[in-house]
Amino acid sequence: MYYIVYGLLYAVSLLPLKVLYLLSDFAYFLLYYVFGYRKKVVMDNLLRTFPEKTEMERIMIAKKFYRNFTDNFIEVIKLVSASPAFINRHFTGDYSLCHKLNEQGKKCQALLAHNFNWEMACLAVAANIKQLFVVVYMPIGNKAIDKIFMKIRTKTGAVLLPATNMRNAIIPYRNEIYMLALVADQNPGHPKNAYWLNFFGKPTPFVKGPESGARRGNTPVLFCKMIKIKRGYYKVFFEMGEENPAQLSAGELTKKYIEFLSRFMREYPEMWLWSHRRWKWEWKPEYGEIIN
């Protein structure tokens, strides 16, 4: 099954992006206008986040999101056969902060979000930073698809660690100078084992892992975002979130990240994964205090 699926994807990936984007346009039409894929989730999330906007403004954001959503998957297919030159042409960034930390011999964390196009970012960052790029990922249930994504994501040197066994998987790299990439806006497995903070006016749980690891090792933390310059072209930005996280109290680093994420979502709302059920948990007193 793996070889059949990979072979088909490779053949399709050889098509020019202009042709592939025709497939993306068709997929957008089906998802938004025909099937309404998670449209209620998307519109509810946008209403919760931007109550001050008109309904028409939220609809426009939703349409741009769906276009980015389908482009994301079409671009992943292109990555199956994409050369390093293609990747560097379509995904640029300022890596000077990453280089500075590497020269200082410091490991670091990069906290990102469900932000398009994270798959292309994985390849571009791995190819352009000087430290080892280690990415925590959630294994896919289908073994053939999981193997294909592993092959794509590691083609420029990234090392992938399964989130289900991260503590053991990272042991071979503990003496390396690495950048550890973590998607920090995901839902926690259980709301009781989370930091609860106000996120766009609603108590929301955030995973503790990124902060606890950074504080334990006093590992500098970079906040990361990607923006779309034009169709098929992206740029990544890094900023110092906290250079000495061990000095912060519990929850403070996560709060800084949320403030960063909120600014990004307000500035580029079409770039976030609105179909993600981010606010599915309701706060209860037994979950602990809400950090302000």
The tens digit of pLDDT for each residue in 87-123 reads 999 999 999 999 999 999 999 999 999 999 999 999 9
Look at residue 1 and tell me whether its pLDDT is greater than 90: no
pLDDT attached to residue 186: 86
The band of 189, judged by pLDDT with boundaries at 50, 70 and 90, is: confident
The band of 202, judged by pLDDT with boundaries at 50, 70 and 90, is: very high
pLDDT attached to residue 213: 92
The tens digit of pLDDT for each residue in 33-56 reads 999 999 999 999 999 999 999 999
Question: Rg (Cα) of the chain, in Å, rounded?
Answer: 19
Q: Model pTM?
A: 0.93
pLDDT attached to residue 219: 97
Mean pLDDT, residues 54-80 taken together: 97
Q: Cα 111 from chain centroid? A: 8
Domain span including residue 107: 2-291
The count of structural domains within the chain is: 1
pLDDT attached to residue 141: 87
For residues 261 and 49, give the distance between their C-alpha atoms in angstroms, rounded to a whole number. 12
- Residue pair 47/58 in contact (Cβ under 8 Å)? The answer is yes
pLDDT attached to residue 3: 86
pLDDT attached to residue 87: 97
Handedness of CA 147, 149, 150, 155 (dihedral sign): positive
The band of 2, judged by pLDDT with boundaries at 50, 70 and 90, is: confident
Look at residue 167 and tell me whether its pLDDT is greater than 90: no
